[in-house]
Structures are given as structure tokens and as C-alpha cells.
């Protein structure tokens, strides 16, 4: 079940311009490098200023998961514990949000 969910998220991320990530083997999350300068600012923007049909997504900025200062500044951590349809919707919101944010 988790492999299927992981693949949904991973495949969607691979389809997003400028996003870089590795396919995890055992975790229930993916860390993805985004084409943004500061992931925390991007995540905040998603929550406060962006939606599709009154829905948005929340991700964990990855910087807090690193011991080295400034590592992960342009990365997010995406958990894939949601239902498949919810993951697909979230990945679409992320993709469209990145396009809008980087205009």
C-alpha cells in the first residue's frame, strides 16, 4: 500500500519542472528539492495565498530536519500517508502552485 502511495507522489514530483528527489526505499515520506529559494516562504504562501477550488496543501519545510545550517532550505518533506486520491490532488496543487509562485 505504501509503495503505491510513494509511487504516486514520486511520479508526480518527477513530472514537475525543476523538482529533484530520490525514490525512498523504506520511509513514509519523500524529501524534494523545489525550484524556490526558500521552501518555508513557499509553504507559507501556499497556506495563506494560494488555493485551487478553495483547497490548498501543507508541507513541512525540510530545513528543520538537517543539523547543518541552511541545508534543506529549498526542500520540503512530503508524507504519503493520505488516500491515493488525496495524494493526487495534493500533487496537482503543488505543481500548479509552483508554476504560479515562480511567475
User: So where are the chain's domains?
Assistant: 2-101
Confidence of residue 95 (pLDDT cuts 50, 70, 90): very high
Task: Please say if the pLDDT value at position 26 is more than 90.
Answer: no
For the structural domain made of 2-101, what CATH number should be given?
3.90.1150.10
User: Which one has a higher pLDDT value, 1 or 24?
Assistant: 24
CA distances from 27 to 34, 48, 64, 70 (A): 20, 29, 17, 23
Amino acid at each position: 500500500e505504501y509503495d503505491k502511495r510513494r509511487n504516486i507522489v514520486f511520479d508526480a514530483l518527477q513530472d514537475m519542472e525543476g523538482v529533484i528527489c530520490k525514490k525512498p526505499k523504506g520511509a513514509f515520506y519523500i524529501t524534494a528539492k523545489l525550484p524556490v529559494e526558500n521552501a518555508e516562504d513557499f509553504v507559507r504562501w501556499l497556506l495563506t495565498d494560494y488555493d485551487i477550488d478553495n483547497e490548498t496543501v501543507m508541507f513541512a519545510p525540510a530545513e528543520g530536519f538537517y543539523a547543518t545550517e541552511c541545508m534543506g532550505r529549498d526542500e520540503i518533506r512530503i508524507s504519503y500517508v493520505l488516500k491515493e486520491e488525496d495524494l493526487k490532488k495534493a500533487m496537482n496543487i503543488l505543481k500548479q502552485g509552483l508554476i504560479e509562485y515562480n511567475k
